[in-house]
Amino acid sequence: MGEDRREGKPGEPAANAMWGGRFEQAPDALMTAINASIGFDRRLAAQDIAGSRAHAAMLGAQKIIAAEDARAIDRGLAQIADEIAAGDFAFSEALEDIHMNVEARLAEIVGEPAGRLHTARSRNDQVATDFRLWVRDRTDATIAALERLMRALLDQADAGADVVMPGFTHLQVAQPVTWGHHMMAYVEMAARDRDRFRDARARMNECPLGAAALAGTSFAIDRHATAAALGFDRPCANSLDAVSDRDFAMEFLSAATICATHLSRMAEELVLWSTAQFRFARLSDSFSTGSSIMPQKRNPDAAELVRAKVGRILGAQVALTVVMKGLPLAYSKDMQEDKEPVFDAADALEIALAAAAGMVRDLKPDPEALKRAAAQGFSTATDLADWLVRVLGMPFRQAHHVTGALVKAAEAQGVDLPDLPIEAMQAVEPRIDASVYAVLGVENSARSRSSYGGTAPDQVRAQVARWRAALS
């Protein structure tokens, strides 16, 4: 930084080269420590360089800086991008953040033109742009990851469209459903999650660059050109808003929290299903871990970690919301605290989605165990009540009552409904005949629920086909 450096007190480091003009002393070590963000915002390096290249090209095209200076800046920034990608870049805490680290290195590479890059720009619009680009990239990656999960679920659903399992309410056996239907429930959730990220992307895709510190600039910049160069739909229309808001990140975290909540529920089911008590499905060795003391154990650690990730993701959402709450317009340094929660949540969601898709691909349902469990707990009682309505013309409320008495009789004999002798049934309702047994089997029960969106294998196959077409 040579010439620009101001001397601090003897023996202390020089004042900051970027804004040292009105400063005589170097910052206290604690000032540097609390102020520096380079430890984490180095993750914005690629976006920062892309933003600067677009800005420099625009400054050149608008003749705000000389064309050869714009070219020199671009060449220097390209070299810095390579250095950072190769791990050859010395990040400096004294240079505070990614923006000043890049600019300082640019000065070393290209000399005087580097000082012209910051014309008509501020770190305020710069960081807002970098962060939007970063969140946008991760939004795209999340959408792709959700589609991979959906495809894994669709394959499970297809293969298990006829496999009968218990459906639960209150975690008590309720009615037979199909494995395919259960998998498709998560497809619907993942699809809405994907759409939430898509919606957020559309709203966030406006470019803050050129808002400068807060008020815009007197230079004849072309904000539409920089917005287009960076893949934004348009520039942000209000410079104060452009540098102040982080709602795009809050929206990302909000969508991430809902998505992680869905993953958590799915993971919980994988945990339950792989217990000795349930034995509904098995995760292979690739997605299980052993115990250091109990040789018999196979633990679903990946599922448990997916179940847990929502904790830190919701934590990030709360953290960013509290940081933003009550901040006056425009930029305040509080907003430097926006990044770490978002980085952490994005990483957590990425691994959770990948692990969830991996487990769904790995999962092997046990059709025998599922069918056995589906038959337990009088799961076809509703089918019996429906039969009384359909065949005997009973009002449903009365049928419900009669079925309750039949369940009580079965319970007293220690049998399930399909095994309750006809005499015992007729003791409760004399008009019942043997044709009732046809609706008491779990497979018939599932097949009969063919209303739109119901659990019948045909319905499940139709939904699988619809989603496959939508994803291709």
Which are the contacts of 203, defined by CB distance < 8 A and separation ≥ 6? Answer: 248, 251
Report yes or no: 345 and 309 within 8 Å, Cβ to Cβ. no
Q: How far is CA 71 from CA 74, 89, 221, in A?
A: 5, 22, 17
CA distances from 16 to 13, 25, 89, 95, 307 (A): 9, 9, 20, 7, 46
Shortest Cβ distance from residue 250 to ligand ARG (Å)? 16
Return residues touching ligand ARG (CB under 6 A): 37, 41, 97, 123-124, 127, 331, 333, 335-336
Nearer to ligand ARG, 92 or 275 (CB): 92
Which residue, 37 or 139, has its beta carbon nearer to ligand ARG? 37
Closer of 97 and 416 to ligand ARG (Cβ)? 97
CB of 335 to ligand ARG, least distance (A): 5
Structure tokens at 176: 């037979």
Tokens 């939508």 identify what position?
470
- Dump the DSSP string for 281-329: EE--GGG-B--SS-TT--B-HHHHHHHHHHHHHHHHHHHHHHHHTTPPS
- In the bound complex, what is the minimum distance in angstroms from residue 208's beta carbon to ligand ARG? 12
Kindly state the smallest distance separating residue 84's Cβ from ligand ARG, in Å.
17
- The number of residues making up the chain comes to 472
Pairwise CA distance, residues 436 & 373, whole Å: 21
Q: d(Cα 104, Cα 18) in Å, to the nearest integer?
A: 9
Of 167 and 208, which has the nearer Cβ to ligand ARG?
Answer: 208
CA-to-CA distance for 398 and 388, rounded, in angstroms? 9
Which one of the listed residues 92, 284, 291, 332 is annotated catalytic? Answer: 291
Task: Say how many CA atoms lie within 13 Å of 213 toward its Cβ.
Answer: 2
Question: Which of 170, 218, 292, 435 is an active site residue?
Answer: 170
Residues 101, 83: Cα–Cα separation, whole Å: 13
User: Hey, is 380 helix, strand or coil?
Assistant: coil
Residue 182 appears among annotated catalytic residues: no
In whole angstroms, the minimum distance from the beta carbon of 93 to ligand ARG comes to 12
Per the CB < 8 A criterion, the answer to whether 417 and 384 are in contact is yes
Among candidates 40, 54, 47, which has minimal Cα distance to 81?
47
Smallest gap, in angstroms, from Cβ of residue 92 to ligand ARG? 14
**Cβ closest to ligand ARG, residue 125 vs residue 362:** 125
* Helix 123-159 × helix 179-204 angle, to 10°: 160
What SS3 class is residue 87? coil
* Nearer to ligand ARG (CB atom), residue 74 or residue 125: 125
**C-beta of 38: minimal distance to ligand ARG in Å?**
8
Rounded to the nearest whole angstrom, what is the least distance from the CB of residue 467 to ligand ARG in the complex?
Answer: 41
Q: Please say which residue, 98 or 348, places its beta carbon nearer to ligand ARG.
A: 98
- Alpha helix locations (H) across 378-441? 381-392, 396-413, 422-428
**Residue among 16 and 288 whose Cβ is closer to ligand ARG:** 16
Separation CA 406–CA 429 (nearest Å): 9
% helix, strand, coil for the chain, step of 5: 65, 5, 30
Which residue lies nearer to ligand ARG by CB, 97 or 103? Answer: 97
Closest approach of ligand ARG to the CB of residue 343, in Å: 12
Residue 259 has which token pair? 């998505």
Task: Give the gyration radius of the chain's Cα atoms.
Answer: 31
Write out the two tokens for 434: 């043997």
Instruction: Respond yes or no: is residue 292 known to be catalytic.
Output: no
- Locate 189 and state its tokens: 């959730």
Catalytic residues: 170, 291
